[in-house]
Structures are given as structure tokens and as C-alpha cells.
Structure 1
Amino acid sequence: MSSPVAASHNDAADSHSTLVQRTFFTGPDARVADGLYVEVDRERSDRTRTRLVLAPGACASTNTYFGRFAASFWQRYAELASVRLEFDHQISPQPDAVAGPALRVELWASDPSGRQRPLGTTEFANTGHASLDIAIDRFVDGGAVWFDLVALGATVSVSDVRWSIPTPERNRQAAVVVCTHNRPEDCIDTVTALASDEVAMASIASIHIVDQGDQRVADRERFAAMADLLGDKLIYLTQPNLGGAGGFNRGIYELSPGGTTELDIIVMDDDILCEPESVLRMTSFANASMAPVLVGAQMLLLSETSRLHMGAEWEVLDKIKAGEPTAYASNGLNLLENHLDGRSDAGWNGWWSCLLPAEAVNAMSLSLPLFFQWDDIEFGIRARHSGFPTVTLPNAGVWHADFHLKDYDDWSRYFSWRNGMIVSAIHGRFDGTTIAKTVADEIGSHIAAMQYGLAQTLMLAVSDFLAGPSVLDDGGQSKLGELKKLRADYPETLIRPASEVGAQADNNTRIALKGPEPDESKVRLVLAKRLAKQIAGQLNRAPVSIPADSAQWWHVSQFDNAIVTDASQRGVRVRRRDRDTVVRQSRELAALCLRIRSEAPEIQRTWREAMPQLTSRENWKRLFDGE
């Protein structure tokens, strides 16, 4: 042993007796990149999820997304003095045939900038069990801990790698709430993955499935096997579709009879690829924290499993924007090439997987009945203002269906904008002039880009927001039919087969790629000119085809008509200039913006005063009962 910060122990039953993390060597599914768990030469190694075998001379590193221990977050929130790394190791051939040490274990740490420093090296000549203590004392602004392995002249295996800490005062179980709507197979996959991990399930008291669809999870053949795994830990509930907000809040409601709960609650989407280890890490971190915190998992992409989609974010309410990465946080990183070293603070965490401490649930009641989108953000903001911060924990992630493959021109944007404005009014400064400019910029750009159905969708959202809290009386169900009918009047909202459109297109149709983006200081001037030219018809009338990644408004708005690829890559949208619609929608938008400027103080007061009633158990019970 060559380091004062790591010491070898023979007594594994020492004070470090609470498991907080395991090291795995493969993911829970064949789609997951193994490099997220361990970096190793495939030709000189063999692995299972819990065991790694190295040929003589081979090396391996757990300086990976799931392999690291997020030391900075533990030092910041848990005041942790040290963490213990334990593992079993086996050497072949037998030790008496090996000259000298057979296995070297190197401990490493990083700082906020990613610079690496060695913590110590231990060598082993015999098969056995090892434990190493690692000081968590130099990580305030960032940094992680990991270990590397080197096989020294013999075949070695390392298995059952565990990280433990002294047992914290809080040792609370959590309940999981999964909301599902017509994704029965996805839901069963997600819950089964978690239920199959006995260690992760030891920290779970129950799993509530709230089924809001007409394709019931319970009707699937695999439901029985999942139910057998869970036994009396499974609570299966059905109700009408009240969106994600209604599904999650039904679970929270049931778990807090009388308005309080003794369990932390993990809310989880049905369409994720679940890493059960992330649930263990979230619950362990919550228990060890000095004060109650919301603990969220990061979102990774399901189609590109090594890419981080969302890390730590903070809302931007003046822009009606759900979030921007906070300091030291970045979205879209390739995690095989980049590490998350700087400690970032989150303003909230999406409910794709997020632990809500019992104290926060008891203090704040339920979330707003927003149907879906922004309900989780609003709860996180309100929690933060009530003294319960959010930690988006790196090295705890789940894979989610890809948002970049969903086109922005969608009915769901109604909820995104209406709900975003509600949250901005309740928690933001909500300056009428600033919000009016944000609305004008967003909707005006869609009018210019010949996305008339999307523009009308967003104007309905703004109008309903201005109408006040009564718009939430039914929890959002009635809007689904209204939006479908509204958007049916605008042909460019339909996705059409590319082959159908291609056969009808002019033979001279060409691909038109975007040019340079307008200077930020001139964006509004460019938008005004584009709208004026749309009305005057002073546009390029040549038939064009525009790829999805070139479909920005400032490019599309230069043409009289365009075949635009849908972001899903499943088809195209045909956009055609309609002068009368441009004039009508521009006038409607101007009227809405005038209302926002003049009514902002009053509408803000109205929404803020309605908060206690909207989030009350009585209001949610009314919605659950269909009243």
C-alpha cells in the first residue's frame, strides 16, 4: 500500500456497512454500450454484469459513466469522510505458481477540470476479499473517484464490487410510482427490470403502477410473471387519462393518506430503459444527505445509449423555456469520450426518474394538474423555494425515448406553452413586455415558416392561459379532442410518406440547405421582413426540399412552398404559403401580445392565488373521481 488516503482492510464488517453503489461491467440490456461501465480490451477479457476476467497483462478502468463514484456530490450533501471499496478477487493459476503479485488495483480521482490524480496502489498475490477506504475530502467543486485493474502475469477475476459508507441516521425505503398510458409492454419491461434486481428492490417498499390507458398492462400475458416477482409490493391502479401529472399524483396521493407519507417516492416513466443500479444510488444518496433533497437521474438517449441527453438544468421562465444546462453541466455529451467532473446544481429534475423525499411531499402537497409537461418542473421549483434542493446525480441515469426524433410541430406543444406560462406567472417575475416579446418571437417564427397549425396551437395555449385557472378544471382531458380538431384544418400538420410526395413533386425540386443564422441582434428585424415578404409574396417560388436539420424558420420562410422532412425521419410535411392565414394569424398574435402586456399583473395574481386550491388533495380527488 502506497497511499495515506487508501488503506487495505481484512474486516469487511467494519463501520462501512451500508451499500450505496455497485460496480457492474455490462449494462442491463444488450443495447447499452459496455464502455459506460468499464474500459477494457475485449480480446483479453471476459465479463458478465458482476464479474470481470482479465488475461495476463490486461488492464481495465472504471473511469466511466457508471463506474465512477460521484465524490463531489457526496462531499457536498452528505459530509462523507470516506467511502469503502470492496471486491472479491480470484487468481489463476494458484498463488504458489505465481511469482510475486498477480493483481494491481489503482485508485484515482479527478478535479473539477477533469485533471486526474492518483490516490494509491494496492497489489494482491492471493485469492480473497479486499476492502479499500478512500477519503472524500478534496472534491468541493467537482471530481469523482474510480479504480483501475492490472493483471500481473496471471489470469485474474474481480467480482461483487461494492461501495459502502457508515450507516446514516436516515435509513428510509422508497415507493416507486410508474405512470403508463397505452405502453403496456414498455411498462412491463421497466418494472420487470427493477423487480429482477433483489439488491435494488431491498430499498423499495412498493411499486405503484397507475394505468391510464385502454390497452391495459394487466391484460398482457407477461403481467403475471411481473406480478409474481413483486408479490405484495405491487399496487396496480387504473383511472381515466389525466396525463403524466394525473398518473404520478395518483400514486403520490395513495402513498400519503391523510396528506403525509413516511416513504420517499420515486416517480418513473414507463418508456425508459431502466438501470436498477440508478435506483439504488438515488435512494442511498437521499438517505445519506444531511438534509432532505430531491434526487434525480440523468436522461440518456435510448437510440444512442452512450449519449447524455439531459444533465442538470435550470428553468428560464422569461423565455418560457424548460431548462438550460447549469454551470459545469452540458447536454448532448458522448459519455464514452467525456466525463462529468464539475459539480453542478440543478433547479429541478424531470420525472422520468426522480426521488421526492417524504419531507418535501408532506410540506408541499401535490403538483399542479397540468396534464403533462412542466408539472415536474413546477414541483421542483416550489420544492427549491421551500428549502428542498434538487440534485441531478451523475452516474445515475436511465435511457429515454429520444426527443430529437420528435418533431416540434405537435399537439403537445399546447401543453408545453400553456403550462410554461402558468409556471412563469406563478414563480417568475412575469414582466408583461418581456413575456409578450417571447410569445411574439416564438409564434411569429412559426407563421413565417408556414407552420400555421403549430402557430394556432400555441395561440390557443396563450389564450387559455389568459383565461385563468378554470382551464385546469378537468385536468386537461377535453383539450385532446379540441387540439385534434384544430390541427386537422391545417394540412402541413400531417406527416405524409416521402414517396407519395416525391412522386407528386416537380422534377426540378432541389434540396435547399440552410445558410448562416441571422445575427442575434437582428433576429426580430429578420422575422418582421420575412412576414412582410410572406404577405407580399416576394419569395423564392422554386420548389424545394428541406432536410430536418435545415428547417429553421429563417431558412424555410424564404420560400413560397417547401417539402420539409419531419424530425422523426418517417415522412415529410408540405408547407405552402397562405397569405390570408398569415394576415389573420399575425393580427391574432398582436392582439394576444397586447393582452399579455396589459393583463400581466392581474393574471399573475390570479394564478398565484389559485395555487393552494389547484394543488390540494381535494382538487386531485375530484379529478380522480371524474368530477
Structure 2
Amino acid sequence: MDGTALDRLGSASDVSAVAGGDGEPELTVQRLLFDGPSPLVSADMYSSVGKGNAERTRTGVRIAKRSVLHTNSYFGRFPASYWQRWTTVTEVVFRATVAGAGRIDLVATDYKGHERTMASTTVDSANASTQLAVPVATTQFLDGGALYVRFTTTSSELSVQDAEWTVAAPEKLRPTSVVICTFNRADDCANTVAAMADDPIALLGVDNVYVVDQGTDQVQTREKFQRVAAELGDKLVYITQPNLGGAGGFTRGLYEVQGKGGDPANVIFMDDDVLCEPEAIVRMNSFANMTVEPAIIGAQMLYLLHPDRVHVGAEVANLQKLEAGVHVKNAISDKSAFKRKRQQDVRVDAGYNGWWSCLIPSEIVGQVGYPLPLFFQWDDIEYGYRSRANGFATVTLPGAAVWHADFAWKDWDEWHRYFNLRNGMITAALHIELDGRALAKQLFTDLLRYLVSMQYGMAYTLIKAVEDFLAGPDHLLDGGMDAAGSIRRERAAYGETKRHNANDVPGVRPADMFITPAGPPPKKSMEFAVLAKRVLNQWRGTVNPGPVAISADDAHWWHVSLFSHAIVTDRSQEGVRVRKRNKAHASELLKRGVTALKRLRIETPTVAASYRAAVPKLTSRENWARLYGQ
């Protein structure tokens, strides 16, 4: 965007405000971009050339003669249904600077994906630039649908610059801060801050960018961060503190903003290791400024290794089964955004939003308290469910997104699984009548599967999570620092928790690692019988001695348990894990696990009550001040 456009948008105090046709101020709620923030991202995520040719840049496009370009794409669609449902807006205006000749259509989809043209205009300005403003109503999208723009040329080229969607601005815009927490990802964090700083339009409405550094390899030592810090000046606030995980890092931003007092504010969480799309800040912030009542506004997650794939359109959790990331009905899930039929036409509701990027209004903190000091994992889920229980919805906004590491490429057998299990139990205990008997039965099955799969460290992790959940809320008083350190140390006693180079596996020649594919899974009705048989065979040692090589996708319990020595590909694809039968480990862990799960069956109601009673203290400003040493 050129300097003239930047001047037109105004200062931070009137974020992206432009003058409407009647002189009334308007708010830019979505920019129409035509290319991504990185060469890793295809321009087709923003617009598509349906016919002919077009030269696309970040903020503009030059469409050749006899060509068609449309924005019916992931970032190019305006989520009209969400704006109708959650905001006071009844009309949006498409604005752009155009030169040349062509037809511009504003097209709507409905909840079935059917299209209708809402407005159409023809421009013919030769080489002169013309300011285009086309209003369109957003009053018939309640169950779903979006708006997009289609540009068609015939005998002339058409140039489009600084295209955007605007709405009538509210009387006052909310102060906004971005908070990034980081732990020993200094280069990643510096890149994320730089991506925001390099898009000054996205930061127009941002008062402060908080970087909460909890590591020993600090981001302030990086040259790129030092350059950005000089550019941002007082807008950047750099804080160092002990490692309290994502919960403690992000909460520090809420803590600082709440401490200022004054007008209600928006606080945007941004992960340190994302490929940042700064436009997400514009879209979440403008949406939050227009909602009927305060709501958590979440960005969607795109996969970093597969940039066209959407993680999930909206998600909930199955609290009883401790299942996070359950996509709601009609929401897209792990799908490519390039396919038209996979665009999100049906409006869906979310139970929570991941904190890869998420906006929390300060009024919510004032009424429901701060997040729990869970270190990380399920902190976002618990806060989303607590907020909804107090009348504050979560809206996962289509078209607002960042790229984050693919979850499927993270191995489940890691130390963080402890927090996933423990914090899942805490969240369930707080928000449902958790059935300890049913949960103990489920976890006993999981324990047996880990043991027959020779995942002794994983079995230990499960047991430790149950034991610490049963220890009650006092276990959370240090913010998770002790638990994070101890689970890593204790898991190291189990050899299969270590990752090896596939060409340097201890005691195994490369030629001995022959890939052994899995057979079909057991029938549902036969699963427990097959598991019982595998337990018996592993106990007796009547299994194939191996070694064998097993791919990550084939590492099912019913397959790995056929062997006593298996070299399994790590989900990261960066190495392998060596699983070896160890009867002593299995016996010790089974006994300890049975004891812990018996307690879970009996003690869950009492323990759940203790967590509920502790929530006001744990989520108080005073508790977080203590953890921050304030």
C-alpha cells in the first residue's frame, strides 16, 4: 500500500478509518490481498485466475485482457454469515483503486454453496485511477455464506490496488495489544515480530506488542529483533520471566493490559513459531470492535508444512474422553483450501479456539478471571469453556489464520502428553460431572495398549498424569515449572523415548530394519479380545523377536505388539524410536497404573470438588502476580 493510502487510513487512534460517501468514518475490516506473506504460500490462497492471466502482488493485481480473476478463495472471501450473526453490521462496502476497463461483480454464496450476484459495476477509466465504492447488504447470510469479488476483462487490462471491505465505524475503537510468548525459539520469535512490523497497516490499530521471553536463548540477542525493536520503539514491550509455559506467557499479556485500567481492550495472542499472516490481526481486531457483546475471536490454523490445508473450521472437546480438537459437524477439517467445495459456507460454532492466534477482550478477564496456571495444553480449552459458561462465546473467524506446525507431524510419545492428560482431566473436572469409573476404564485400555506396544515411557506418562491430577490443585501453585522439568527427567529412564538417526540405531544394522507393514485393524467387537491376547503373548515373550522397521502410520498397538524389537519411525519423520520388550518395566508399570486408576475410580468426585473450589484463587490477579514476582 502506498503512502497516500497509508495517510488515508489515519493513525493508531482511529485504526484504518476512512471516509465514507456521506463523510462518515468507516472501518477497514478486511483487506483484499492478492499474494501471501511468504514465497512458501501460494497466491491461490488469496485469489484465483479463472481465465487468462494476471500479475498478482501483495496489495494489488494487474489483470490481462480477456481474463477473469476471482477471490473465492480462503483469504479472499468475506465471511458475511459471521458478520451478520455476531456483529451490528448490516452493510459492507467494497472499496478499491482501479484503472483500466472491466466488470466487477460482488458475488455471494449461501449456506449450500449456491451463488448469487449481489452487485455489478463496469469501470472504464483508461489509465486514470478511479476510487470504487460498492455497498452490499449482509442481512441474508444467517446460516452461512460469504462474499467474494470477480473481475472480468475483455479488450483492456484492469489494475486493482488497495482493495478492502469497510463498515461504518463505531464511535470509539478499543485499545489493542498483541502478546507473543516464547521459550528458546529466538529466531522464530524474531521472524514473527518482524512479519508484523513489516506490515504497518496491520499494526495501525495496535498500541503495544508484548514479547514475553521465558527462555535462556533470548530473542533480544537476535539482530533481526534488535532492528524491529528500533522500528517499533515504545510500541514494543519486552519482558523476561521464568518459564511458565504458554499459559503463563500469554497470561502475562492479559495481566499487563488489565493493569493499565482504562477502556476495555482487545488482547491478541500470537504463537512465536508461526508463519504470521499480519492480516489476521486486522480481521480479528475489527470483528471484535463490532460484536454485539464481547466474545473470544479466534484465527484458524493452517498447516506450515502443507500451507493450503486448513486444520479445522471450528472445534470442541469431548471432555469425558479427554479428546481435544474434535471438529464440529459441517466444519472443514484437514482439507485443502484450493478446492471450491471445501470452502466454509455453513456457519459453525466453536467451543474454544487454539491460542496459535486468538483475541480475548478484557471484559471477559474481568468477569471470569485469568487463565489457569496449567503450563500448557488445554489452557485454551479450559478458558474457552469457562468463558462460555459465563455468557461469552468463542467465534472462530474464517479467513483469519496463521500457519502453525502440522499436529500430525508431532509424535504423541513426548513429555507434553503429560500436560495433555493431566490438564484434560482438570478441565473435565471443572466443566462436567466427570465419570471417574468410565475414565479409569478408558485409561486402563490405553495403558495396556502402551505396554503391549513397548511404549513404557508413554505408560509412565499416563500414570504420572493421573497421580498428579489426584494430588489436587496445590500441584498447580508453581505454574507447572516443577512438573515440566520432572516429567522430562523421569521419561528419560525409558529408552524408546529417545529419537535416533535412522542410519545410526544402537545395536541394529541398517540391513536388519526391513519394513513390516501392518495388517487390517481388529473388528470393533474383537478389539478387547485381541488386546488380551497381545498382553498374554508379550508377557510370555511368544512374539516375533525382530528387529523390524515400522512406519509411523503403521505403528498401531495391534501391529507393534507382534514383535519384541521394533524400530518405529517418529511422527516428525526426523528419526526413529527403538522399542524393545522389557518385562520388568511392564510389570512395574502395570501394578502402579492399576493402583492409580483404582484411586481415580473412587476419588474423582472429591478431587473435582477441590479443583472447583480452587479456581477463584488460581485464576486471580494476585496468584499470577505472585508467579510473576510482582
TM-score, length basis structure 2: 0.93
Alignment check: 8 A CA contact 2:194 2:225 kept: no
Question: Kindly tell me: are residues 42 and 189 of structure 1, through their superposed partners in 2, closer, same or farther at Cα, counting changes over 3 Å?
Answer: farther
What code does the residue aligned with 2:114 have?
Answer: R
What code does the residue aligned with 1:176 have?
Answer: V
Deviation, structure 1 residue 53: 0.5
Per the alignment, residue 266 of structure 1 pairs with 268
SS of 1:291 mapped into structure 2: coil
Q: Distance in 2 between matches of 1:239 and 1:624?
A: 7
Per-residue CA deviations over 1:219-241 (Å, capped at 9, x if unaligned) read 22222321122121111111111
Per the alignment, residue 332 of structure 2 pairs with 330
Deviation, structure 1 residue 484: 2.6
> 1:500-519 residue pairs with structure 2 within 5 A?
500-501=504-505, 504-505=508-509, 507=511, 509-519=513-523
SS of 1:443 mapped into structure 2: helix
Alignment check: 8 A CA contact 1:259 1:362 kept: no
Match of 2:500 among 475, 496, 500: 496
Give yes or no for the alignment of 1:461 onto 2:450: no
Deviation, structure 1 residue 135: 1.4
Deviation, structure 1 residue 16: 6.8
SS of 1:157 mapped into structure 2: strand
Per the alignment, residue 396 of structure 1 pairs with 400
Deviation, structure 1 residue 195: 2.1
Give yes or no for the alignment of 1:621 onto 2:630: no
Per the alignment, residue 378 of structure 1 pairs with 382
Per the alignment, residue 75 of structure 1 pairs with 84
Deviation, structure 1 residue 172: 0.9
What code does the residue aligned with 1:487 have?
Answer: R
SS of 2:207 mapped into structure 1: strand
Alignment check: 8 A CA contact 1:346 1:391 kept: yes
Per the alignment, residue 142 of structure 1 pairs with 144
Per the alignment, residue 442 of structure 2 pairs with 438
SS of 1:570 mapped into structure 2: coil
> 1:281-430 residue pairs with structure 2 within 5 A?
281-337=283-339, 338-430=342-434
Alignment check: 8 A CA contact 1:260 1:362 kept: no
Deviation, structure 1 residue 543: 3.0
Per-residue CA deviations over 1:549-580 (Å, capped at 9, x if unaligned) read 11122221122221101111111111111223
Alignment check: 8 A CA contact 1:207 1:235 kept: yes
SS of 2:195 mapped into structure 1: helix
Deviation, structure 1 residue 169: 4.6
Deviation, structure 1 residue 142: 0.8
Deviation, structure 1 residue 174: 1.1
Match of 1:32 among 19, 32, 41: 41
Question: Kindly tell me: are residues 205 and 258 of structure 1, through their superposed partners in 2, closer, same or farther at Cα, counting changes over 3 Å?
Answer: closer
> 1:519-598 residue pairs with structure 2 within 5 A?
519-598=523-602
Alignment check: 8 A CA contact 2:174 2:263 kept: no
Per the alignment, residue 215 of structure 2 pairs with 213
Q: Distance in 1 between matches of 2:485 and 2:259?
A: 34
Q: Distance in 2 between matches of 1:494 and 1:87?
A: 55
> 1:52-63 residue pairs with structure 2 within 5 A?
52-63=61-72
SS of 1:56 mapped into structure 2: coil
Give yes or no for the alignment of 1:17 onto 2:26: yes
Match of 1:476 among 461, 477, 480: 480
Q: Which moved more, 1:312-321 or 1:38-47?
A: 38-47
Alignment check: 8 A CA contact 1:180 1:247 kept: yes
Give yes or no for the alignment of 1:105 onto 2:114: no
Q: Distance in 2 between matches of 1:89 and 1:467?
A: 65
Q: Distance in 1 between matches of 2:41 and 2:207?
A: 28
Per the alignment, residue 49 of structure 1 pairs with 58
Per the alignment, residue 243 of structure 2 pairs with 241
TM-score, length basis structure 1: 0.93
Q: Distance in 1 between matches of 2:360 and 2:536?
A: 50
What code does the residue aligned with 1:113 have?
Answer: K
Paired residues in the alignment total: 607
Q: Distance in 2 between matches of 1:468 and 1:438?
A: 21
Give yes or no for the alignment of 1:603 onto 2:607: yes
Per-residue CA deviations over 1:9-60 (Å, capped at 9, x if unaligned) read x974555711111100101111111110010269722121111001110110
Q: Which moved more, 1:504-513 or 1:17-26?
A: 504-513
Q: Which runs of 5+ in 1 are unaligned?
A: 1-9, 92-101
Match of 1:173 among 175, 179, 185: 175
Question: Kindly tell me: are residues 12 and 51 of structure 1, through their superposed partners in 2, closer, same or farther at Cα, counting changes over 3 Å?
Answer: farther
Question: Kindly tell me: are residues 521 and 116 of structure 1, through their superposed partners in 2, closer, same or farther at Cα, counting changes over 3 Å?
Answer: farther
Question: Kindly tell me: are residues 227 and 43 of structure 1, through their superposed partners in 2, closer, same or farther at Cα, counting changes over 3 Å?
Answer: farther
Per the alignment, residue 7 of structure 2 pairs with none
Per the alignment, residue 117 of structure 2 pairs with 118
Deviation, structure 1 residue 507: 4.5
Alignment check: 8 A CA contact 1:255 1:261 kept: no
Per-residue CA deviations over 1:592-624 (Å, capped at 9, x if unaligned) read 221111111101111111111111111111111
Q: Which moved more, 1:535-544 or 1:29-38?
A: 535-544
Deviation, structure 1 residue 542: 4.0
Per-residue CA deviations over 1:269-291 (Å, capped at 9, x if unaligned) read 11111111111000111111111
What code does the residue aligned with 2:209 have?
Answer: I
Q: Distance in 2 between matches of 1:78 and 1:622?
A: 38
Q: Distance in 1 between matches of 2:24 and 2:557?
A: 61
Deviation, structure 1 residue 154: 0.7
> What CA RMSD, in Å, does the superposition of the two structures yield over aligned residues?
1.9
Alignment check: 8 A CA contact 1:16 1:84 kept: no
Q: Distance in 1 between matches of 2:98 and 2:366?
A: 46
Match of 1:159 among 158, 161, 168: 161
Alignment check: 8 A CA contact 1:261 1:358 kept: no
What code does the residue aligned with 1:511 have?
Answer: I
Q: Distance in 1 between matches of 2:348 and 2:180?
A: 27
Q: Percent identity?
A: 44
Q: Distance in 1 between matches of 2:212 and 2:452?
A: 42
Per the alignment, residue 133 of structure 1 pairs with 135
Alignment check: 8 A CA contact 1:327 1:345 kept: no
SS of 1:273 mapped into structure 2: coil
What code does the residue aligned with 1:33 have?
Answer: S
SS of 1:272 mapped into structure 2: coil
Alignment check: 8 A CA contact 1:261 1:361 kept: no
Q: Distance in 2 between matches of 1:280 and 1:172?
A: 13
Alignment check: 8 A CA contact 1:112 1:342 kept: yes
Alignment check: 8 A CA contact 2:112 2:346 kept: yes
> 1:175-194 residue pairs with structure 2 within 5 A?
175-194=177-196
Question: Kindly tell me: are residues 314 and 568 of structure 1, through their superposed partners in 2, closer, same or farther at Cα, counting changes over 3 Å?
Answer: same
Q: Distance in 2 between matches of 1:24 and 1:189?
A: 21
Q: Which moved more, 1:287-296 or 1:38-47?
A: 38-47
What code does the residue aligned with 1:32 have?
Answer: V
What code does the residue aligned with 1:580 have?
Answer: A
Alignment check: 8 A CA contact 2:193 2:225 kept: no
Q: Distance in 1 between matches of 2:116 and 2:444?
A: 51
Q: Distance in 1 between matches of 2:208 and 2:526?
A: 55
